[in-house]
Structure 1
Amino acid sequence: MQIRLNPFVDDCPECGFDIRVWDVPDAIRTIRYARDLVALACESMDPALLDAQIGDLPSIADHVESLTDVLRSTRNMIMRTNEDDRHDSSLQSILDTVHHEATATGNALRNLTSAELDAALPDADTGHETVELAIRHLAHAVLHQQAAIGRTRRSLGDALTIGVGEVIQVSGSGGGLPKTPLLTARVDKSGVVGDRQASRRHHGAPFQALCLFSAEVIEDFAAQGHPITYGSAGENVTIRGLKWAGMRAGAELQIGDVLCRLTAPAVPCSQNAPWFTDGDFTRLSHDKHPGHSRWYASVITGGAINPGDPVHGL
């Protein structure tokens, strides 16, 4: 099934995309990460669900192929090339195609000059004027289809089953770790208002607006003698009661007033070494220790998050 996704939308009520909080570096980083964002949304999925449909609704394969088409066609438009499309059947081959398109697109876009970014987009049908806007809207295409995969899995009966949790602490900082407790967190599409990252190279994109972590995982580390506590690892929201190993990208969470969508596990770095007696921060790695990672989330609807607020998957 061919999906006619129009990525040229400034404010998307379906996935929460808001062009006002996106810049070009964040957008290109998101585009280059597209394969992983899609793969994470399909993690632990029954392969039979890939092509399953309910009525005339698109399948998960349709959503992924739509993303590859948008990446390719927009790159062709910007770079004035004419690469042919590719259609695949298995999940691995589809992900390989996403990887090819995302890498090729990201590599081409990150080398554009300021003048090229400001140039008119060579397709009047889009209704947008510059290449820079097209790049930001490509980030929308990536996250929109990740969200669509999550919704489709839920519609097919593969819903998130993590129980109901409670916010234990909300945290923020002016940059760096640890983050310290806040009485309340005001959240918008950029994340916790007033919270900052010391480095934006790998952090702070809108798909990383919130960082969530499990109180039980933190307490288990502390019980082993590691000097870690709530907020140490940089999470904004510390949650007790959820089945943390069941968290997955593309799923939505209601946290207090805030509706958010899980996008990716946070990749640990050396800034987290002080919280472990031997400095082994890879204990926080999703790849090495599933169920022990922090999770990033994008914000669909902002609001307030307070200690004691309920948390549940949708």
Structure 2
Amino acid sequence: MKPVVDAICVGTAKPFRDGEQSAFAKEPVAGPVAIGAEGLVGDTQADRKHHGGPHMAVHLYPRAHHVYWEHELGGHDVLALPGAFGTNLSVDGICERDVYLGDRFQLGEAVLEISQPRLPCWKIEHRFDRKGMVAKIIATGRSGWYFRVIQQGVAESGQRLERVETGRTPWTIEQVFLSIVNPKSGASKDDLLAMADCDLLSPSWRDGAAKKASAL
């Protein structure tokens, strides 16, 4: 069964911590949303050095992980929000071990291609006011992922996220994330070098794979 996008979320830059701007908190939008080369119309990134751009155009954090965090955090009001983790596409029934780097999906008129995992940062812990969340993401591989936009178009909530191409790489997003980020992953040098040489993986993650491989 093809997963359904239950909400499409966007955010605008607002004061987040000590006056620093962030668009991490995203809210659902009603009706059709245009998806351009760098993401959803109406969605912004305050820190363009670390966020946004064609390789991080659309973010998906699996809705199923909200259940995990409900248990880990002992409940939290923010978990009721579809954009709790800064996600653009709220989708249940799909997670990191189900999708591969380079997989392509149709959503409405748009075609999206998985480009990289999402690297967790302090903003997650600040949003939830909980320490240790980043470490748990690195340990468990509950990273979420980004898409690049292959075909621009209009989409809206309630539509199915339909995989239209797969098998372009041998690595799930969970494998990519854990191999490069988790220091205990036991990733082989050959795998890391192959990831570093894979043009379907975004440049910053290719660099990360190369650096980890060189340290082995």
Same structural fold, with TM-score higher than 0.5 when normalized by the shorter chain: yes
1:281 and 1:255 map into 2 onto residues whose CA distance is: 30
2:140 and 2:9 map into 1 onto residues whose CA distance is: 24
Mapped contact 1:284–1:293 kept (Cα < 8 A): no
Over aligned residues, Cα RMSD in angstroms? 2.0
TM-score normalized by the length of structure 1: 0.44
* Equivalent in 298, 302, 307 of residue 152 of structure 2: 302
Moved over 4 A (4+): none
Higher relative contact order (CA 8 A, sep 6+): 2
Q: Structure 1: which 5+ residue stretches go unaligned?
A: 1-162
SS in structure 2 of the partner of residue 207 of structure 1: helix
Distance 1:312 1:284, change over 3 A: farther
2:160 and 2:83 map into 1 onto residues whose CA distance is: 19
1:307 and 1:244 map into 2 onto residues whose CA distance is: 21
User: Residues 44-59 of structure 1 correspond to what in structure 2 (within 5 A)?
Assistant: none
Distance 1:222 1:216, change over 3 A: same
Distance 1:283 1:164, change over 3 A: farther
* Equivalent in 288, 311, 314 of residue 139 of structure 2: 288
| Aligned residue pair count | 150
Give the C-alpha shift of residue 211 in structure 1: 0.5
Identity %: 24
More helix as a share of residues: 1
Q: Structure 2: which 5+ residue stretches go unaligned?
A: 14-22, 166-216
TM-score normalized by the length of structure 2: 0.63
Q: Does 1:182 align with 2:29?
A: yes
Mapped contact 1:181–1:231 kept (Cα < 8 A): yes
Report which stretch shifted further, 238-247 or 293-302: 238-247
* Equivalent in 245, 253, 276 of residue 105 of structure 2: 253
Q: Does 1:198 align with 2:55?
A: no
Matched AA of 2:125: A
Equivalent residue for 2:176? Answer: none
Q: Deviation per CA, 1:11-47, whole angstroms, max 9, x where unpaired? A: xxxxxxxxxxxxxxxxxxxxxxxxxxxxxxxxxxxxx
Equivalent residue for 1:169? Answer: 7
SS in structure 2 of the partner of residue 262 of structure 1: strand
SS in structure 2 of the partner of residue 164 of structure 1: coil
